[in-house]
């Protein structure tokens, strides 16, 4: 822009900034185009727009490249809208409407001030370029503020989660719970996943979010407190969920959920599991020495390197897992019922453990189940 055009632009922008009615027209255009912006007080919109126009006038008067301008007011506008919860799409709708109104108003002002049409065109084109840069900095300010707000909010939530679930720290006050999005008087489910990768954890969190609650990394895995037990597909990432309890009672459930996740993950399980449904495996996994003793006592005759022995043990375990039903076991293993019967007979001959004995007491059956699971796990 030459000096003549710069002088004209300065006069136009100064006149615009000094005319409250014209500033109001820009404000009204932005509010009419964006309902989210219109929910803010009109004076809030006016304050920012007047500041932007005054900054533009000062920049044009100083001269120099647009890229060297002071865009702090634009960044502040974007940051304020982020803090007020106005989405960037709604901000941009208001900015575009205001931008169009500014260009039209400046063109009319320039002609009213007697500026030549050729100079008017230069002024309008240059002004539109400058407003485009303002828009970029508004977006930048909004995004930076959103990231900071998100980081601050997530840090608060994570700290509250850790203080609720981990030993060693005092429980959060009710005000802190509310700030983290929790209701002090409400019962919550403790949910622990096996996800440690931030990207996969974010995707899982999005799937859990509809069930209410808060989430964060506790001891390196995504954990959270939920209003309701989530309903996800069976092939969804593994999540173990405790019964609903008062917030300050969940600390005793968290380590058990964590252990249950380890056990379920080792078994290759996926989807959502109630903690109680994994109770037996989780409790028994805490006593590996006792499990090894049972293996030695009951299954000492089996050879881990023998494929047939592993097949017999897997059939016996499947039989117990399915309530000692011959037909359902055969269906699960895709074999004939007579094949299952033969394998169980051979298993009894080798180990002297008869899993088909209907008179067998519960505790010996549990011991056989535990020994079989432990032995097969050691074969993997």
Q: What is the DSSP string of 315-366?
A: HHHHHHHTTT-HHHHHHHHTS-HHHHHHHHHHHHHHH---TT-TT--HHHHH
Whether residue 178 lies inside any domain: the answer is: no
3-state secondary structure of 273: strand
Residues 356 and 253 grouped into a single domain: no
Do residues 256 and 275 make contact, with C-beta atoms less than 8 angstroms apart?
yes
Query: Burial of 207 by CB count in 10 Å (0-12 exposed, 13-18 middle, 19+ buried)?
Result: middle
The span from the CA of 316 to the CA of 310, in Å, is: 10
**At 49, which CATH number?**
1.10.490
- Asked, for residue 236, whether it belongs to a domain, the answer is yes
Whole-angstrom distance, CA of residue 278 vs CA of residue 285: 11
Residue 1 is predicted with a pLDDT of 53
| CA pair distance 249, 155, nearest whole angstrom | 22
Task: Say which residue the tokens 């709708």 belong to.
Answer: 93
By residue range, what is the domain housing residue 320?
288-379
| Paired strand residues for 187 | 246
Q: Is residue 328 part of a domain?
A: yes
Domain's final residue, options 126, 149, 172: 149
CA distances to 29, 72, 123, 217, 246 from 156, rounded to whole Å, are 38, 28, 49, 12, 20
CA distance 287 to 293: 10
**312 domain-assigned:** yes
How much is the pLDDT for 115?
76
- Grouping H, G, I as helix, E, B as strand and the rest as coil, residue 231 is coil
Q: 275 with 341, same domain?
A: no
pLDDT (tens, 9 = 90+) of the chain, 380 residues, equals 567 766 777 777 777 777 788 788 888 888 898 888 887 778 878 888 888 877 777 777 666 676 767 788 888 888 888 877 788 898 888 888 888 887 888 788 778 878 777 777 777 777 778 788 888 999 999 888 878 766 777 888 888 999 999 988 778 888 889 888 899 989 999 999 999 888 888 899 999 999 988 998 888 889 999 999 999 999 999 999 999 999 999 999 999 999 999 999 988 999 999 999 998 889 888 888 998 999 999 999 999 999 999 999 999 999 999 989 999 999 999 999 999 999 999 999 999 999 988 777 888 888 899 899 899 988 87
Tokens 């096996």 map to which residue? 194
Burial class for 257, CB neighbours closer than 10 Å (0-12, 13-18, 19+):
buried
In 194-308, which ranges are E strands?
A: 213-218, 221-226, 239-241, 245-246, 272-274
| CB proximity list for 160: less than 8 A, separation 6 or greater | 172, 176, 177, 179, 180, 182, 214
* 374 belongs to a structural domain: yes
Q: Are residues 198 and 297 in the same domain?
A: no
Q: In sequence order, what E strands does 160-204 have?
A: 187-193
Q: How many domains does the chain have?
A: 3
CA distances from 62 to 65, 127, 151 (A): 10, 14, 38
Tell which of 90, 121, 149 closes a domain.
149
CATH number of residue 306's parent domain = 1.10.10.2840
Query: Using CA atoms, how far apart are residues 127 and 109, in angstroms rounded to an integer?
Result: 13
Is 45 in the same domain as 139? Answer: yes
Contact between 193 and 239 under an 8 Å Cβ cutoff? The reply is yes
Give the model's pLDDT for residue 257. 96
| Confidence (pLDDT) at 154 | 80
| Domain boundary residue, one of 149, 176, 211 | 149
β-bridge pairing 272-274 and 239-241 = parallel
User: Is residue 116 located within the same domain as residue 249?
Assistant: no
Q: Are residues 114 and 16 in the same domain?
A: yes
CB atoms within 10 A of CB 29: 21
Residue 160 in domain: no
Residue 167 lies in a domain: no
Is residue 7 located within the same domain as residue 108? yes
Verify that 262 and 367 share a domain, yes or no: no
State whether 224 and 310 are in the same domain.
Answer: no
Q: Which long-range contacts (CB under 8 A, 24 or more apart) does 180-183 make?
A: 180/156, 180/214, 181/157, 181/213, 181/214, 182/214, 182/225, 182/247
Q: Which among 359, 360, 326 is positioned nearest to 343, based on CA atoms?
A: 326
**Residue 39 · residue 47 · CB < 8 Å:** no
Let me know whether 10 and 141 are in one domain: yes
**In this structure, are 274 and 292 located in the same domain?**
no
Residues 134 and 56 grouped into a single domain: yes
Our measurement of the distance from residue 359's CA atom to the centroid of its chain's CA atoms, rounded to an integer in Å, reads 51
């Amino acid at each position: 822009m030459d000096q003549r055009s710069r002088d004209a632009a300065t006069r136009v922008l100064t006149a615009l900034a000094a005319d409250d009615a014209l500033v109001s027209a820009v404000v009204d255009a932005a509010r009419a185009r964006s309902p989210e912006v219109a929910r803010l007080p009109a004076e809030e919109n006016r304050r920012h727009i007047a500041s932007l126009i005054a900054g533009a006038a000062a920049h044009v008067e100083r001269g120099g490249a647009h890229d060297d301008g002071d865009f702090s007011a634009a960044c502040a506008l974007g940051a304020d809208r982020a803090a007020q919860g106005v989405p960037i799409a709604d901000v941009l709708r208001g900015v575009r409407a205001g931008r169009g109104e500014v260009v039209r108003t400046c063109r009319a002002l320039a002609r009213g001030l007697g500026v030549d049409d050729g100079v008017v065109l230069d002024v309008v084109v240059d002004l539109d370029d400058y407003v485009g840069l303002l828009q970029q900095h508004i977006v930048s300010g909004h995004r930076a503020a959103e990231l900071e707000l998100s980081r601050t909010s997530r840090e608060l939530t994570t700290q509250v989660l850790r203080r609720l679930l981990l030993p060693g720290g005092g429980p959060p006050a009710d005000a802190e719970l509310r700030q983290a999005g929790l209701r002090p008087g409400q019962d919550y489910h403790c949910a622990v996943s096996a996800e440690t990768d931030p990207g996969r954890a974010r995707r899982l969190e999005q799937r859990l979010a509809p069930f209410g609650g808060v989430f964060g990394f506790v001891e390196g895995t995504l954990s959270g407190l939920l209003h309701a037990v989530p309903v996800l597909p069976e092939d969804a990432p593994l999540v173990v969920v405790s019964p609903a309890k008062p917030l300050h009672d969940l600390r005793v459930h968290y380590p058990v959920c964590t252990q249950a996740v380890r056990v379920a993950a080792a078994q290759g399980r996926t989807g959502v599991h109630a903690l109680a449904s994994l109770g037996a495996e989780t409790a028994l996994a805490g006593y590996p020495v006792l499990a090894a003793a049972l293996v030695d006592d009951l299954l000492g005759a089996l050879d881990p390197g023998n494929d047939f022995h592993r097949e017999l043990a897997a059939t016996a375990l499947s039989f117990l897992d399915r309530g000692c039903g011959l037909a359902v076991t055969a269906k699960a293993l895709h074999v004939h019922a007579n094949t299952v019967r033969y394998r169980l007979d051979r298993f009894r001959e080798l180990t002297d453990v008869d899993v088909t004995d209907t008179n067998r007491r519960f505790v010996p059956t549990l011991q056989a189940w535990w020994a079989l699971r432990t032995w097969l796990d050691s074969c993997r």
